[in-house]
Amino acid sequence: QVNLVESGGGSVQAGGSLRLSCAASGYFYSSYCWGWFRQTPGKEREGVAAISSTSRWTYYDDSVKGRFTISQDNNKKTLYLQMNSLKPEDTAMYYCAADRFCAGGTKLVFYGGRTYWGQGTQVTVSS
């Protein structure tokens, strides 16, 4: 069982920055992939960014490339998402997720085991 707890959301003006954190506890796969999804009411959850446990592979949705940076501290079992130059369209509930593998093509997908999800943290960007 893996428990994921997000923090760092909040309200900012357009152009501002926020740093999301996701702390993992419990048994974790020896090799894994984890990342961030976001969702707004009435829309499908979309993958934002992901990183492999070795940091050799990263994924960014086109909408956040150059503005968001994903990173991790393996010792602390914590995942981060640095969000700069925020736009109103970044407003969403952001969720941390983890699974054995992930892949990015037209969209980010997690697979290979059970996908674990955090409870989400709200990000609101005002114009």
Q: Give the pLDDT confidence score for residue 31 in this predicted structure.
A: 87
Tokens of 2: 């893996």
Contact in structure between 78 and 87 (CB atoms under 8 Å): no
- pLDDT-derived band at 30, boundaries 50, 70, 90: confident
Q: Give the pLDDT confidence score for residue 113 in this predicted structure.
A: 83
Judged against a pLDDT cut of 90, whether residue 120 lies above it is answered with: yes
Judged against a pLDDT cut of 80, whether residue 28 lies above it is answered with: no
Judged against a pLDDT cut of 90, whether residue 105 lies above it is answered with: no
Torsion of CA 59, 103, 87, 44, to 10 degrees: -170
